[in-house]
Structure 1
Amino acid sequence: MSATGLSTGMPHPRTAAYLRCFPYDEFQMRLHRDAVEEHARDLYLPAPRVFLDNGCLASQALPELQRLLAAVATGQFGVVILPGRFVLSLDDAAALSIVRWIGGLGCRVIEVPSRRTG
């Protein structure tokens, strides 16, 4: 078993990632996508299917987030990787509610650790 507890000898769960950025920013989105994909590799998870709402305010309709949540609800993914809860909502309570809902469906939510150095 790995230190993360994700390697159990069983088949790896399907992995998804959700990214959102406002205003539209292809460069920053690429950095977040690379970080999410690298973190999945570090955890020995398969490359995530990325759901992307680039250019969308958190208060707007988020069609890719809705697609991801629908896919999680039907058991299509076992892990969702996020660069941070802020992509779900800028309201901490709302973001936590979404994370708990996903977890309640048996899907693990993993946040990419910050790479800031002090």
Structure 2
Amino acid sequence: VDWCGCEGSCEAYVCPNSRTDIFCAPNNCLVGLFSGNRLRELPHGLELRKTSRGVGVFATRFFSSHTVIGEYSGVMTTHDFNKDKVRTSDYVLKLNKRSIKGKRVYIDAKNCRAISRFMNHAC
């Protein structure tokens, strides 16, 4: 296991591990519990699995409709990801509501280490 190399602070948007979808842990990061790239505890009934299409969150038990299992957090933007010639992020969620100027609103979780960013996939 390679050390991330972060010193003093370890943030998801600069950590080398984060860029390769590796979470920081005591065996690869000196920052420890204060790392912004560490894996938080998954809610009961969920697990992370790596598939041929990437990492995803899978339910290991039944969840009834409208059960909140996590907050999708990230940067809110009006950048139109649908018009990108080159895909810029795999962690974008388009909201149903528009901005007050009528633009589409997206949440880009690319640099956010919340588990919910892996829920935006249809594997």
TM-score (norm 2): 0.24
**RCO higher in structure (CA 8 A, sep ≥6):** 1
More helix by share: 1
More strand by share: 2
TM-score (norm 1): 0.25
Q: Which has the greater radius of gyration?
A: 2
